[in-house]
Amino acid sequence: MRHIGHIVVLPTVLALTLSGAAAAAETYPTKPIRLIAPSSPGSGVDIVARFFGQKLSENLKQQVVVDNRAGAGANLGAEIAAHAAPDGYTLFVGTPAHAINPALYTRLTYDIVKDFAPISMLTTGQYVLVVNPSVPAKSVQELIAMAKARPGTINFASAGSGNATHLAGELFKSLAKVDVVHVPYKGTVQPLIDMVAGQIQVLSTTTVSADAQIKAGRIKVLAVQAKKRTAVMPHIPTLEEQGIRNAEAIVWFGMSAPAKTARPILDKLNREVNKALQLADVRQRLDQLGLEVEGGTAEKFDAFIKSEAARLTQLIRAGALLVE
């Protein structure tokens, strides 16, 4: 036994605690795991959560149940995950909203850093600027000309005020200097349905959410909102190629657990996620969705979240995004 100030350190007890956590990780999981997706069924995060949930279920030999908790700009799902028992049986799929919300909401009941234990990045992807096929514009510059000729008459949708799709749309609106009307929805699915029906004209969305509608020709892609073209649509130019600079908006997905989840369990989950990301069928499916494989350490994901939160906070405070 050693004394450090007024603290008594018991090496035997500490060793037993650590060995107990390691032993628990060896048998983990012994019951189904809940994977919270902070969005509605059919959304991009839901698609990713279900895909990786299936892979974890296969590898861990235990059922992974996706729990859709849409609402409050993804805050509802994050709040439930942050306050869940830190036993490895509640996991969370984070998205750009996870990094945006601290700058938008002053009364969050959770902290994105203190209340979550990062497991691993999953994937990243690009936003695409899409329009209803009835919109005559064949390029971004033609769309801008239309908007300037008829200010206030063209609408652009988002998955909700403060959502990452809202930020992507506002970035384009600000940099293109056009007067278009924001129409917020609750989720990513309904805006696409209404766009196909002709009620919405412009939308910044992800290739994950819009994949089926794009392939079916029900919506038209004008630009990739990123620094480089996407491999899934190599013929579509970026916004920068069409004269709009600094409008990049990325979508990302990562897995976390409640803070204080035992490190051996987090390490095991990290290994399983990274193992899944190396599978040929996983890479093929992500390619189809326009997503890039990420993975890596929990520390890498933690640094990314902090960096994104700082970057997006700066954009928001500069007026790039106003929540109605």
Look up the CATH number of the domain holding residue 275. 3.40.190.150
Does 290 have pLDDT greater than 90? no
Asked if the structure places residue 323 within a domain, the reply is no
Does 253 have pLDDT greater than 70? yes
78/96 Cα distance (integer angstroms): 12
Which of 242, 258, 284 terminates a domain? The answer is 242
Is residue 282 helix, strand or coil? helix
Give the Cα-Cα-Cα angle 204, 136, 213 (nearest 5 degrees).
Answer: 45
Q: Please, are residues 226 and 126 in contact by the beta-carbon 8 Å criterion?
A: yes
**Predicted confidence band of residue 201 (pLDDT cuts 50, 70, 90):** very high
Asked if the structure places residue 155 within a domain, the reply is yes
Own/partner contacts of 280-288, CB < 8 Å, gap of 24 or more, are 282/51, 282/55, 285/51, 286/123, 287/231, 287/232, 288/211, 288/232
What pLDDT does residue 249 have? 84
Residue 73 structural domain: 2-124+250-317
Average pLDDT of span 159-174: 85
Same domain as 131, residue 223: yes
Does 138 have pLDDT greater than 60? yes
Does 159 have pLDDT greater than 80? yes
Portion of the chain with pLDDT greater than 70, in percent: 91
Asked if the structure places residue 322 within a domain, the reply is no
Count of structural domains within the chain = 2
Amino acid at 246: N
Asked if the structure places residue 324 within a domain, the reply is no
238/229 Cα distance (integer angstroms): 6
Distance, CA of 306 to chain centre: 14
Which of 213, 242, 271 terminates a domain? The answer is 242
Q: What is the pLDDT of residues 217-235, one digit of tens each?
A: 999 999 999 888 888 889 9
Q: What is the pLDDT of residues 67-101, one digit of tens each?
A: 999 888 789 999 999 999 999 999 999 999 888 88
What pLDDT does residue 106 have? 79
**Predicted confidence band of residue 15 (pLDDT cuts 50, 70, 90):** low
Closest CA to 127 of 230, 254, 212, 48: 230
Same domain as 115, residue 258: yes
Same domain as 220, residue 312: no
Same domain as 277, residue 190: no
Compute CA distances 159 → 44, 72, 74, 169, 276, whole Å.
11, 11, 10, 11, 29
- pLDDT, the chain, mean: 88
CATH number at residue 157: 3.40.190.10
